Chain A
Amino acid sequence: MTTPDMSKAVKHVSDENARGMFSGDAAGPVSVGEYFNQYRNKLRAGDVGSLPALLGLLLLIIIFTIAAPSTFLTTFNLANLLTQAGAICILAMGIGFVLLLGHIDLSAGVIGGVGAAVMAMLMLKQGLPWYLAVLVALLVGVAMGIFTGVMVSAVGIPSFVVTLATFLAYQGVLLWIIGTGGTVPINDPVIFGLSNGNMPVLFGWVVVIVSVALYAALNLLVYQRRRSANLVTAPLAIIVLRIVVIAVVLLGATFLLSQNRSKGVIVLEGIPWIAPLVGVLLVIWTFVQNRTAFGRHVYAVGGNAEAARRAGIRVGYITIACFVISSAMAVISGIAAASRLSSVDPSSGAGNTLLYAVAAAVIGGTSLFGGKGKARDAIIGGLVIAVIDNGLGLLGLQAYIKFIITGIVLLLAASVDALSRRRRASAGR
């Protein structure tokens, strides 16, 4: 009545032996060739990540360079592009958390507008210093996020409907704060400088070089630790390649942005302040997603909410937290956008702000079905959107073409997402 396997009763297996049992976790390091094979299999199985977006970005840059040779690939336009992309990237990073759960936040753009209006009014009418005004605006965003999260998780209304309702209501709130017909100017030099000021050239170089060095050190340290503990890790050559590519891109951009890009007499040089802000947010959210239990639980809820619940994860709490992150990031994005225009008006955060951000996240490789996506997807996607917006603007095309093309790009990205998801489903045996 027992199985013939009785003789193989459980006994402790040493780690060396344990490793030997899983051919994929072979004791030796994976060769570069094997690594590429694994990557190709991943692509074939529909796990394309942000590869299409990177290729698309490259293609768009080539197209616009050819179409508008004198204007597109100039240092002036590069800086302009970064400030355009900044607000989109920040908003998209926040929405990414909501998308990871398989929800959507249609109100994020308007929440950004309300946050910016709160900040601007507090500075203008109450004379609050910028940091207090920003803090209050962030708290307003957090409160709005909690409200949406509770409506979705506790009351159980689909997030689409909740945020469609708040999208409308918050537009009213925005009008009420600003008053009829007005725009609120932003005079504070710090807030104004966020999207319009540049880092001193030397300071910019120091920050970029230190960041690259830290990134390299951290990656090599992690590699070394995992190797010595005999854990699954990418080959050293790939890690070094990754570091080199990032270093070249960052240092190259710093070099270009450190040139004087002014067409007039005033010197205009240095990295726009928005870039390090986006960088810091990217590092924070990447850390949260990859290295903390909260991040892991977000992916789990997005992948299979029921399994997450059974594993003891409080799904409602995770849902609320993600809407809070989305709303708070929306406020930061709204402030960055207001800084660029140096004013807040009743249309702030309306129009295509939200569409751009959702498009950015999805183009970058974040799935609309939940459970898949990274903070860096928002950056890559945000750059794609900004390049389209900027490049079409430079070509002097009419506004309607811009809308149509952006819409098509979003549909294209969503198609890639849906098709790769189907492919993933069929790849699972």
Chain B
Amino acid sequence: MTQPTEPILQLRGVNKSFGAVQVLHDVDLKIYPGQVTALVGDNGAGKSTLVKCVAGIYGIDTGEYLFEGKPVSVSGPRDAAALGIEIVYQDLALCDNLDIVQNMFLGREPKSGVVLDEAQMEIKARDTLASLSVRTVTSVRQLVASLSGGQRQTVAIAKSVLWNSKVVMLDEPTAALGVAQTRQVLDLVRRLADNGLGVLLISHNMNDVKEVSDRISALYLGRMAADVPAADVTSREIIELITTGRSGDHGLPLAVSQESA
């Protein structure tokens, strides 16, 4: 896997505190186009906080936020969306009472005058699902209530790529899924990256991480313990990075990891 020279999204030395509690310490994060970067870390390591900082839900205290090499200021979710950053949440953010097309365009419906442009929505939704090789739904006018967990996750992911997005972040997309459905979603995640998007995958599942990711970023107690090509580490080493912050040559300096612990 050749390394793209320039990350599409980069955080440098980001600190974030909630009151007296410092959650992120000098965190660097790089997301490369065409690659899946896995963000791993134990509960409370700061994964969610980091993602929310990228998404603009939380502001960062200090540090740099670079998008396509240029410093940007992201002060709200709309800023992030305008840059082309989309998030697929863990608890599915879909409305059961609406159909697939309605969900995919929710909040950003194309209109002609005041009237919704249903034709454009339906065609675009179908083309997007088809371009992601989604074949498991029978009709794009199906209610989301009638879909399986995997299909819902698929719709949520398709929704995120509908907007010519450049970066997609997925928070535990396979957490609630069965084997076959996990397979579908992971294939889809891989295809997003192959399509040239920068993908950030948050996962607890080492099999998933090893299978689809190109790079691994491990958070340990609010510090970035390692940012390594996935091929260079074994599952066991990733788990060590998650639990102790270091593993062999990788990870935080011994002093730091012990001090943090």
A residues near B (Cβ < 8 Å) are: 1-3, 5-6, 8-13, 15, 17-19, 21-25, 45, 225-226, 229, 231-232, 291-293, 296-297, 299-300, 302-304, 306-308, 310-313, 371-372, 424-425, 427-429
Bound-state CA distance A304–B92 (Å) is 10
Question: A124 CA to B228 CA in the complex, in Å?
Answer: 82
Are B187 and A312 in contact, with the CB atoms below 8 A? Answer: no
User: Does A306 lie within 8 Å of B93, measured CB to CB?
Assistant: yes
23 A-B pairs in the complex with CB atoms less than 8 angstroms apart: A1-B214, A3-B211, A3-B212, A5-B187, A10-B194, A11-B131, A12-B127, A15-B126, A17-B130, A21-B130, A22-B138, A22-B140, A25-B141, A226-B119, A297-B106, A299-B97, A300-B106, A302-B97, A303-B96, A307-B94, A371-B96, A371-B97, A425-B145
B95 interface contact, C-beta 8 A: yes
* Closest-CB distance, B184 to chain A (whole angstroms): 10
- Contact call A303/B187, Cβ cutoff below 8 A: no
Within 8 Å of chain A (Cβ to Cβ): is B22?
no
Q: Is the CB of A13 within 8 A of B131?
A: yes
Extra A-B contacts (17), CB below 8 Å, given A5-B133, A312-B107: A1-B210, A1-B230, A5-B191, A8-B133, A17-B130, A18-B130, A24-B138, A25-B139, A299-B95, A299-B98, A306-B93, A308-B95, A312-B78, A312-B81, A372-B97, A428-B147, A429-B147
- Min Cβ gap A318→B in Å is 11
Residue of B nearest to A7 (CB): B194
A15 touches B107 (CB 8 A): no
Pairwise interchain contact B97-A303, C-beta atoms closer than 8 A: yes
Asked if B235 is at the interface (CB within 8 A of a chain A CB), the reply is no
Tell me, rounded to whole Å, the shortest Cβ–Cβ distance linking A73 to chain B: 39
Within 8 A of A (CB), among B124-151: 126-127, 129-135, 137-142, 145-148
The closest CB in chain A to the CB of B229 belongs to A1
Task: Categorize the interface residue count of chain B.
Answer: 35 or more
Q: State whether B139 touches A296 (Cβ < 8 A).
A: no
B residues adjacent to A (C-beta < 8 A): 1, 77-78, 81, 89, 91-98, 102, 106-109, 111, 114-116, 118-119, 122-123, 126-127, 129-135, 137-142, 145-148, 186-187, 190-192, 194-195, 210-214, 230-231
Complex Cα gap A13–B132 (Å): 9
Taking a contact as CB atoms under 8 Å apart, the answer to whether B116 and A293 are in contact is: yes
Min CB gap B240→A, angstroms: 20
- Which chain A residues border B186 with CB–CB below 8 Å? 3
* A231:B122 contact, CB within 8 angstroms: yes
CB atoms of B126 and A10 under 8 A apart: no
Are A293 and B109 in contact (CB-based, < 8 A)? yes
Q: Are the C-beta atoms of B95 and A307 separated by less than 8 Å? A: yes
Nearest chain B CB to A292 CB, angstrom units: 6
Chain B neighbourhood of A313, CB < 8 A:
106-107
> Which of A2, A293, A372 makes the CB contact (< 8 A) with B111?
A293
In the A-B complex, list the 8 residue pairs whose CB atoms are closest, starting with the nearest.
A24-B139, A311-B107, A24-B138, A303-B95, A18-B130, A303-B97, A371-B97, A10-B195
Which of these, B111, B135, B147, contacts A21 with CB under 8 Å?
Answer: B135
B65: min CB distance to chain A, Å = 21
